[in-house]
Protein backbone atom coordinates (compact mmCIF):
# COMPACT_ATOMS: atom_id res chain seq x y z
CA UNK A 1 0.00 0.00 0.00
CA UNK A 2 1.11 3.58 -0.61
CA UNK A 3 2.35 5.72 2.27
CA UNK A 4 1.43 9.36 2.94
CA UNK A 5 3.71 12.05 1.63
CA UNK A 6 1.64 14.91 3.12
CA UNK A 7 -1.10 15.31 5.71
CA UNK A 8 -2.84 18.62 6.37
CA UNK A 9 -5.64 19.44 8.76
CA UNK A 10 -7.93 22.21 7.54
CA UNK A 11 -9.76 22.98 10.78
CA UNK A 12 -12.10 25.66 9.45
CA UNK A 13 -13.23 23.47 6.55
CA UNK A 14 -13.28 20.41 8.83
CA UNK A 15 -11.17 18.42 6.35
CA UNK A 16 -8.19 16.14 6.53
CA UNK A 17 -6.18 16.29 3.31
CA UNK A 18 -3.82 13.43 2.68
CA UNK A 19 -1.53 12.83 -0.30
CA UNK A 20 0.16 9.49 -0.94
CA UNK A 21 3.45 8.65 -2.60
CA UNK A 22 1.62 6.96 -5.49
CA UNK A 23 0.13 10.32 -6.53
CA UNK A 24 -3.35 9.83 -5.07
CA UNK A 25 -4.77 12.47 -2.76
CA UNK A 26 -7.93 12.61 -0.71
CA UNK A 27 -9.86 15.34 1.09
CA UNK A 28 -11.76 13.60 3.89
CA UNK A 29 -14.47 15.37 5.91
CA UNK A 30 -14.18 15.15 9.70
CA UNK A 31 -17.75 13.83 9.98
CA UNK A 32 -16.93 10.97 7.60
CA UNK A 33 -13.77 10.09 9.51
CA UNK A 34 -15.64 10.21 12.83
CA UNK A 35 -18.44 7.88 11.73
CA UNK A 36 -15.92 5.51 10.10
CA UNK A 37 -13.52 5.54 13.06
CA UNK A 38 -11.65 2.25 13.46
CA UNK A 39 -12.40 2.38 17.20
CA UNK A 40 -14.29 -0.36 19.03
CA UNK A 41 -17.00 2.24 19.81
CA UNK A 42 -17.85 2.35 16.10
CA UNK A 43 -16.62 -0.97 14.72
CA UNK A 44 -17.45 -3.11 17.74
CA UNK A 45 -15.47 -6.26 18.43
CA UNK A 46 -16.85 -8.27 15.52
CA UNK A 47 -18.54 -7.88 12.15
CA UNK A 48 -22.06 -7.85 13.58
CA UNK A 49 -21.31 -5.24 16.24
CA UNK A 50 -20.76 -2.19 14.00
CA UNK A 51 -22.68 0.87 15.22
CA UNK A 52 -24.15 3.70 13.19
CA UNK A 53 -23.00 6.93 14.81
CA UNK A 54 -25.58 9.71 14.43
CA UNK A 55 -25.52 13.43 15.12
CA UNK A 56 -21.99 14.22 13.97
CA UNK A 57 -22.67 16.68 11.13
CA UNK A 58 -20.79 19.49 12.90
CA UNK A 59 -17.86 17.50 14.32
CA UNK A 60 -14.34 18.75 13.71
CA UNK A 61 -10.83 17.46 14.28
CA UNK A 62 -8.85 19.17 17.04
CA UNK A 63 -5.49 17.44 16.64
CA UNK A 64 -3.62 14.77 14.73
CA UNK A 65 -1.21 12.66 16.78
CA UNK A 66 1.36 10.41 15.10
CA UNK A 67 1.34 6.75 16.07
CA UNK A 68 4.70 5.27 15.13
CA UNK A 69 5.39 5.29 11.41
CA UNK A 70 2.14 3.63 10.42
CA UNK A 71 -0.84 5.67 11.66
CA UNK A 72 -2.35 8.73 13.29
CA UNK A 73 -4.80 9.21 16.13
CA UNK A 74 -7.42 11.83 15.37
CA UNK A 75 -8.85 13.76 18.30
CA UNK A 76 -12.32 15.00 17.42
CA UNK A 77 -14.04 17.93 19.11
CA UNK A 78 -16.73 15.59 20.47
CA UNK A 79 -13.74 14.17 22.46
CA UNK A 80 -13.63 10.88 20.55
CA UNK A 81 -9.97 9.89 20.38
CA UNK A 82 -9.73 6.11 20.53
CA UNK A 83 -9.45 5.26 16.84
CA UNK A 84 -6.02 4.72 15.34
CA UNK A 85 -6.18 5.45 11.62
CA UNK A 86 -3.50 3.46 9.81
CA UNK A 87 -2.16 4.72 6.48
CA UNK A 88 -3.85 1.76 4.78
CA UNK A 89 -7.21 2.48 6.44
CA UNK A 90 -7.06 6.17 5.49
CA UNK A 91 -6.26 5.16 1.90
CA UNK A 92 -9.23 2.77 1.94
CA UNK A 93 -11.49 5.51 3.32
CA UNK A 94 -10.39 7.86 0.56
CA UNK A 95 -10.72 5.27 -2.20
CA UNK A 96 -14.17 4.10 -1.04
CA UNK A 97 -15.47 7.47 0.18
CA UNK A 98 -18.62 7.67 -1.94
CA UNK A 99 -19.64 4.04 -1.40
CA UNK A 100 -19.08 4.16 2.37
CA UNK A 101 -20.76 7.57 2.74
CA UNK A 102 -23.86 6.40 0.86
CA UNK A 103 -24.02 3.25 3.01
CA UNK A 104 -23.80 5.44 6.12
CA UNK A 105 -26.64 7.68 4.91
CA UNK A 106 -28.76 4.61 4.15
CA UNK A 107 -28.06 3.17 7.61
CA UNK A 108 -29.10 6.46 9.25
CA UNK A 109 -32.34 6.48 7.29
CA UNK A 110 -33.11 2.81 8.01
CA UNK A 111 -32.59 3.39 11.74
CA UNK A 112 -34.52 6.68 11.86
CA UNK A 113 -31.40 8.62 12.80
CA UNK A 114 -30.01 11.97 11.67
CA UNK A 115 -26.65 13.56 10.94
CA UNK A 116 -27.75 16.48 13.13
CA UNK A 117 -27.19 16.44 16.90
Tens of pLDDT, residue by residue over 11-38, are 999 999 999 999 999 999 999 999 999 9
Cα of 89 vs its chain's centroid, Å: 9
Q: Which domains are assigned to the chain?
A: 4-110 (3.30.2020.30)
Average pLDDT over residues 83-96: 96
Strand 61-67 versus strand 71-76 pairing type = antiparallel
Are residues 7 and 16 in contact, defined by beta-carbon separation less than 8 angstroms? yes
Give the C-alpha separation, 43 to 85, whole Å.
Answer: 13
pLDDT value of position 107: 96
pTM for the structure as a whole: 0.94
Strand 84-86 versus strand 71-76 pairing type = antiparallel
Are residues 115 and 54 in contact, defined by beta-carbon separation less than 8 angstroms? yes
Amino acid sequence: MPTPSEIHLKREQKLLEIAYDDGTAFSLPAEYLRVESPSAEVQGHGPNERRTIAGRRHVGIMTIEPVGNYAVRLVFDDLHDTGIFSWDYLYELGRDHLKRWNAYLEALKAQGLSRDP
